[in-house]
Structure 1
Amino acid sequence: MPSPHQPPDDSTTCARPGEEPPSRTRPLVPPIELSAVYRIEGLDQVDALYEGREPGFIYARDGHPNAVRLASKVATLEGAEAALVCASGMGAEAALLLTLLGPGDEVALSEGLYGRTVALVGRELARFDIGHRTFDATCPNSLRAVIGPKTRLVFAETLSNPLVRLADIKGLAEVADAANAPLVIDHTFAPLLCRPLELGAKVVTHSATKLIGGHSDLTLGLLAGSSDLIGRVSTVASTFGLSGNPFESWLALRGVATLALRSARACATALALAERLAGARDVAAVHYPGLADHPDHVRAARLLQGGFGTILTIDLKERGRADSFIRALQHIPFAPSLGDVATTLSHPATTSHRGQSAEQWARQGITPGLIRLSIGLEDPDDLWKDLHQALQAR
C-alpha cells in the first residue's frame, strides 16, 4: 500500500489546480475569473445555492463574479435596482423580448430603430405571431395613435441612429404606462447623459460593445431595470445561452472606469466639429443635437447632462461624394461601429440601414451621401484637418 506521504503521480499533479497562495491581501484590480464551474462543499450547500438561500456561483452561464461586478456598477449608473450582462446588445434585447412577449402580442417600435432590432421583431418574432407597429419617438401622440390592447412593449432609442433625434422619453413613458406597456430605451448612444429610468422608462438596454467598452475589443449587452424583471430575464438569458462571458465582462468593467472622462472629452469635441462642419461649403446638412438648428435642441439642452453625445452625422447628398470623402480621409477609418477611443465613421445606407427601400430612407431622412461620425479622444484640430482636407477631395 502506498504511503500517505508519498507524492502523487505526475499525472495527478498536472491535473489538479494547485494550492491557493497564502495571502491576507486582496488584489486592487478585480481579477479575471474564467472558471466555467464552481466547487460545492456538499449536498446541503448545493440545495441552498439553487434555492437562493446562500449566495454563490455554480455554473458561469448562470452568473460569475466579473458579470456581477459589471452589473452592479451599471445598475448604480442607471439608477436601477438590478442589471444583467448578456453576450451582446442583441442578446440582451432577445432575452428581454422572449421574456415579455408571446403569440398574438404586438410591439411598438420607434421609426429608425437599429436595423437588427427591427429584424428581430419584424422577421424572427413574426414567425411566432408577434406583430409590430412604428411611431415617431419625438412625438408621444404618434405612439398614442398606434398603441393598442395587444401592445405589450414600447421600444425606442434615447438618440436615434443616424440622425441623432432625441426621444421624448417622459412623454412616451406616460403613454406607455397608460396602456400598461413597459417603455424600453436603448441607451447605447447616450450613457451618462441622462437616466431614462428616472424619466419613466422601465428598462434600459446597452450595447456595451460601443461607448461603455470604449475600445472596440469586446462584444457585450446590458439590461437595467427592476429586480423582479431582471431576475426573470436572467433565467431566459441563461436558458438560451445569452449570458456574457467573464473576460469580456472584465474588459467592460475596465471600460466603465474611464467612461465619464471619455464621454466628456468626446462630447466636447463632437460639438466643436459639428459647429465647424455646419459652416463647410460642401456639407449639405449637419445633424447634432448640440446645434441650435437641430429639431430637438431645446429638449436636448434641458435633458442631457455633460454633453450632447459623441455621434454626429453629415450629409454629402450623393453616394459618389460620400465615397470620395471616405477614401480621402487619412486618419478616420470606415469602421461600421461606434464608441471607440479613436474616431471612426460609418455609411448608414450601406451598413446599418442596408436593404431598406428608398421610401424607408426618405421617411427617416437617410440619403446615399449620409456619413455618421463617432467621435473619439483625438485633438479636435487634428480631426478637423483630416475632415477638411477630405471635403476638398474630388
Structure 2
Amino acid sequence: MAHAKAKTNAGRFFEDYRVGQVIDHAVPRTVGAGERALYHALYPARHALYSSDAFAQACGLPAAPLDDMIAFHTVFGKTVPDISLNAVANLGYAEGRWLAPVWPGDTLRSSSEVIGLKQNSNGKTGVVWVRTTGRNQHGTAVLSYVRWVMVRKRDMDAAAPETVVPALADAVPAESLVVPQGLDFGSYDFALAGEPHRWGDYAVGERIDHVDGVTVEEAEHMMATRLWQNTAKVHFDTSARPDGTRLIYGGHVISMARALSFNGLANAQLVVGLNAGAHANPCLAGDTIRAWTEVLDSAETAAPGVGALRLRLVATKGGAPFALRGADGKYLPDVLLDLDYWALLPV
C-alpha cells in the first residue's frame, strides 16, 4: 500500500529560503467595523481621526479609516505561517510606509520577498530578511515594510547559504511619506481631539512621559493574537518555550504603547512611516506596559495644515521613564519596545 503524503505543513525552516524568493501568503481577509471595535476594546485607542467619521470628514477624508495598526497587524499576521512559524525571535523592522488608508470593507492580502539571508555561527539558526507588501482588493499597496527574523534550521548539516545582508535606510525620508489624499488639517478641532498641542509645539530632543500604564492579561493577548491570525508557536503553545511561558505578541506591545501615547500626543493622528523597531525584551502576561516618547525630527508636508514628526516610542514594564540602555550599550531589562516612526499632526 502506498503511503499518503503528509498534508499538514510544519512551516519553513532557514534552509527553505533563498534570496529573491517571493511568497504569496494565504488567506485574504476582509476587515471592517468589527475589527475596529475589537481593536478599541483591546487597546485604549482614542485618536479622533480613527474614532469618528464626522471628525475624519472635517479633516477632508470620506470617513474614518481603520487604525493604521489594524492594517499592520492584519498584513503581518498573513506572513507568520510562511516567515516566522519556526522563528526564535522577530528581530527588527525598517523602511515601513503606510501607502493608502484601509477602509471598512477592504480585503487585505500579503506577499513577501526574501531580500537577505545569514546563517548564525552556531549553525542551528539563521536570519531571514523579507520585504512584505499588503494590498487591498483593487491591488493597491496599502503598506510595505522590511522585517528580519531568526529562524531555526530543520537540518543542522544543511549547507549555509551565501550571506546577503540588505542595505536598509536608517529612516524613511520625510519626502517619501504618503499623506492620504484629501487630508486637510486647516480646520482641525483641537477640543474634540483632546489636546491643544500642534506640530510646532514639539521640539527635537523633547521627551514625553505618557504617565499611564496597562497590565497585560493572558486572555486579551490570546484574543489579539487570534484576531490577527498570528500562528507563531511561541504565542500559542506553552511547550514551544523551555520555560513554559507564552510570549506576548510584539505587535500587541506596539499597539498598547501607541494607545498609551495618546496622553501627550493626542494629535499624532496617523502613523505613516516605520523607520526602525526592536522588541528589546520579552513581554509576559502580568507585565504592566508604560510608554515614553522622544521627538527625533520634524518635517513639513505638502498637505494643508499637516506636519510630520519622527518619534521614538519606548515601551517598558517598569523603571524610570527615559531610561533605555545600560552602560554596556544594551537595552535595560525593563525595556520591551524601541520603535522609531513618523506621525502626522496639525500645524
- TM-score normalised according to structure 1 size: 0.21
Normalized per residue, which structure has more strand? 2
Q: Larger Cα Rg: Structure 1 or Structure 2?
A: 1
